Chain A
């Protein structure tokens, strides 16, 4: 019970990311089919994204969009609504992981598209996406080998 309160509950996001990442890595190492390997790669990338975004979470914080232009602030003509008052960083979630993962998602799509294009090209040459069959065809100088 002590272990649960100390290790599992405050750190459940890290458990989730490690488990997801290992599922992806298992698929990348063990699976024979190239498409299944790519699915594993996507799960792996998603685990990293989950890890980064969960790091940027702050208890009780809002999304990192400063609400100076929100109507409720503009209507209350109190000194607190002065647009030049200092912004408390604890009120907003950490923007940095969001920025890094925004680009990581798009790069993930690009790498996935590239990998699918390469596997389509492999399928055109070898008529299979199974790794052992491709290796066997390479060893006997199959149709895909030009040299």
Chain B
């Protein structure tokens, strides 16, 4: 059986490698994907028109949330469904009592010096991580960043609380009810802004029509619309990243964690 697998892998690899010679060279600006052959390509359009269409300097953010807004909306939905699926598969309530045995949350009680060092370091680091995560979300227009990256960092800060102390300490700050509501809220913000455009008699996720809502011109309204849906993405990603950790680390019981 192992040999059959190895032969299949080597054959597939050889087939793929035999086609490598036909690919464009590495870093070729005139390769078909970079749109240098014809007179018009979609990636060139994105680079040249982003500034006048949306006033967002980061082309990746503009393409992500505006030109390909549908893609990102359903990507957010995929993450939401994955989180709900993990909760549905793993979540179980232990018989007898809602919570497991209460553990001392205060690191100083049991006299374990390593836990004091880790606890104090994390107490200093976690607010910095969270503020930086919010900066990454908010500054996605001008630098690499945005809802997905900032959301993962914000979720990681809650995971760090769960790792450095215990899961109860993290759940006291970000309870199960709260992260489920936040995940739903994120998808609702994204879809809601799309629906708002639809109600104002334009296409779904066509933020240009929201100029009255944001009190700006239609081009700036697209920039603000992108930021609004990025916040929705950040909410969902934060909540689902923490939900995945909390359920996996406690076998779905949400009691002690690792």
Selected contact of A10 from candidates B16, B25, B152, CB within 8 Å: B25
Main secondary structure of the interface of B (DSSP, over half): helix
Cβ of A29 under 8 Å from chain B: yes
Q: Which stretch in B68-76, B114-122, B171-179 binds the other chain?
A: B68-76
Selected contact of A106 from candidates B2, B29, B48, B237, CB within 8 Å: B237
Bound CA–CA A59/B36 (angstroms): 13
B89: chain A residues within 8 A (beta carbon): 114, 117-118, 121
B1: chain A residues within 8 A (beta carbon): 30
Given A65-B57, A99-B68, verify A19-B35 contact (CB < 8 Å).
no
Cβ of B131 under 8 Å from chain A: no
Q: How far is the CB of B77 from chain A (nearest CB, A)?
A: 11
Q: Is the CB of B148 within 8 A of A59?
A: no
Q: Is the CB of A95 within 8 A of B28?
A: no
Contact with B along A32-76 (1 / 0, CB 8 A): 000000000000000000000011111101011111110000000
Select from chain B the residue with minimum beta-carbon distance to A90: B29
Q: Is the CB of A14 within 8 A of B79?
A: no
Cβ of B20 under 8 Å from chain A: yes
Q: Is the CB of A59 within 8 A of B72?
A: no
Q: Is the CB of B33 within 8 A of A97?
A: yes
B-side interface residues, number (CB < 8 Å): 65
Cβ of A145 under 8 Å from chain B: no
Cβ of A107 under 8 Å from chain B: yes
Select from chain A the residue with minimum beta-carbon distance to B31: A55
Q: Is the CB of B248 within 8 A of A116?
A: yes
B50: chain A residues within 8 A (beta carbon): 66
Selected contact of A120 from candidates B27, B42, B90, CB within 8 Å: B90
Bound CA–CA A9/B68 (angstroms): 34
Cβ of B125 under 8 Å from chain A: no
Q: Is the CB of B21 within 8 A of A6?
A: yes
Bound CA–CA A109/B241 (angstroms): 9
Q: Is the CB of B25 within 8 A of A11?
A: yes
Q: How far is the CB of B48 from chain A (nearest CB, A)?
A: 5
Q: Is the CB of B247 within 8 A of A103?
A: no
Q: Is the CB of A26 within 8 A of B5?
A: yes
Bound CA–CA A96/B67 (angstroms): 11
Q: Which stretch in B6-14, B101-109, B158-166, B215-223 binds the other chain?
A: B6-14
Q: Identify 14 residue pairs between A and B in the complex whose beta-carbon atoms are under 8 Å apart, listed by A's number.
A: A18-B16, A22-B12, A55-B31, A57-B27, A58-B29, A68-B51, A87-B47, A89-B48, A90-B29, A102-B64, A113-B83, A113-B248, A117-B85, A117-B90
Q: Add 9 more A-B contacts to A14-B23, A65-B144, A110-B78 (CB < 8 A).
A: A7-B21, A18-B17, A26-B6, A64-B59, A66-B51, A83-B51, A92-B59, A99-B63, A113-B83
